[in-house]
Amino acid sequence: MGFSSKDRDLAELFRQSLGLTAAIRKRRRKRWGKIWTCYEISFSSVRLAHWFQLIGIMPRKSLRLGALQVPHQLFFHTLRGLVDGDGSIARYTDRKGRHRFSIRLYSASEPHLIWVAGVLRERLGVTGSLVMIRRKKRTLGRHPIYQLAYGREASRLVASFLYADPVAPRLDRKWIRWVAAEQSGRL
């Protein structure tokens, strides 16, 4: 099995969370006419691979991902991992001087984002906006990319559940945006 990310901190968090001792390798890849730096970790675990498939994480997951079979009490831990890997937390001031806070999740699998949106609607009563943000150019593939975005109040509520456990694994650079927004009182 392998894990790769452009974010070294995310690769390190993955390694620590699974208790792996394998080294993280820095790789340079040329794709789509650009040179990318990514960080990879490889390991062998038939048991983990089988468990991933049982909960809905399959090979070529980007295109095949749907609802994940995670226990109710672990949903927000799972969502935090999804946001850390394929999402964004933004804190900014718009052109009219209004303070904004937003959580967004990206995927090539629309059914997966529909599942996330449904669980958040059911559990927290929040609704997000699901849109196709781009269809990749022919050289980049034929699959669209979808975005599930939440507005300021919904994002505030979602983030309060994502970061409720202060010792849970998290990507610090995204958590810091939440803390800064929360402490500024500009949510």
pLDDT at 181 over 50: yes
Q: Look over the chain and give the mean of its residue pLDDT values, rounded to a whole number.
A: 86
Distances (CA, A) of 82 to 101, 109, 171: 18, 13, 11
Please check the confidence at residue 96 and state whether its pLDDT lies above 90: no
Rounded CA gap, 63 and 74, in Å? 23
92-100, long-range: CB < 8 A, 24+ apart: 99/152, 99/184, 99/186, 99/187, 100/152
Compute CA distances 13 → 62, 75, 182, whole Å.
20, 18, 24
pTM: 0.76
Tell me: pLDDT of 33 over 90: no
Q: Say how far apart CA 9 and CA 187 lie, in whole Å.
A: 26
pLDDT digits (tens, 9 = 90+) for 124-169: 999 999 999 876 555 445 778 899 999 989 999 999 999 999 889 8
First to last CA, the chain: 40
Distance CA 30, CA 39 (A): 14
Q: Are 25 and 40 in contact (CB under 8 A)?
A: yes
Question: What percent of the chain has a predicted confidence (pLDDT) above 90?
Answer: 36
Kindly report which listed range (9-13, 54-58, 96-100, 163-167) carries the lowest average pLDDT score. 54-58
Position 87 scores a pLDDT of 92
Q: What is the pLDDT of residue 173?
A: 86
What confidence tens digit (pLDDT) does each residue in 58-90 have? 776 677 788 988 999 999 999 999 999 889 998
Give residue 122's pLDDT band: very low, low, confident or very high (50, 70, 90): very high
- Asked if residue 37 has pLDDT above 90, the reply is no
- In order of start, what are the domains of the chain with their CATH numbers? 1-44 (no CATH), 61-184 (3.10.28.10)
